[in-house]
Amino acid sequence: MKHLDCCHQCLCTRSFPPQCRCTDVKTYCPSAWKHCKCTKSIPPQCTISDVKDHCDPPPCDNDSVTATDRAAGDR
């Protein structure tokens, strides 16, 4: 069974410990997301701002984790 609150794209820094953030945009806030903000548009666009030392929620089937040199909170 596929995890419904999975992350299609997770970015992690190369630091130790890594700082990881799910960069998915969804139409709802999955329960696994602690800090989620949604736009007032229709449909809403919801993003996560949680930064952890691992990808959480876990990657979806056939998706991967991407390492980046930027800090997890940078854009």
Q: What is the CATH number of the domain that holds 37?
A: 2.10.69.10
- Counting Cβ atoms within 10 Å, is residue 75 exposed (0-12), middle (13-18) or buried (19+)? exposed
Per-residue confidence band for 45, with pLDDT thresholds at 50, 70 and 90: very high
List the alpha helices (DSSP H) in the chain. none
pLDDT in the model for residue 75:
42
Count up the domains in the chain and report the number: 1
Regarding pTM above 0.75, the answer is no
Domain enclosing residue 50, as ranges: 1-75
pLDDT above 80: residue 57 = no
Q: How would residue 64 be classed by pLDDT, with cut points 50, 70 and 90?
A: low
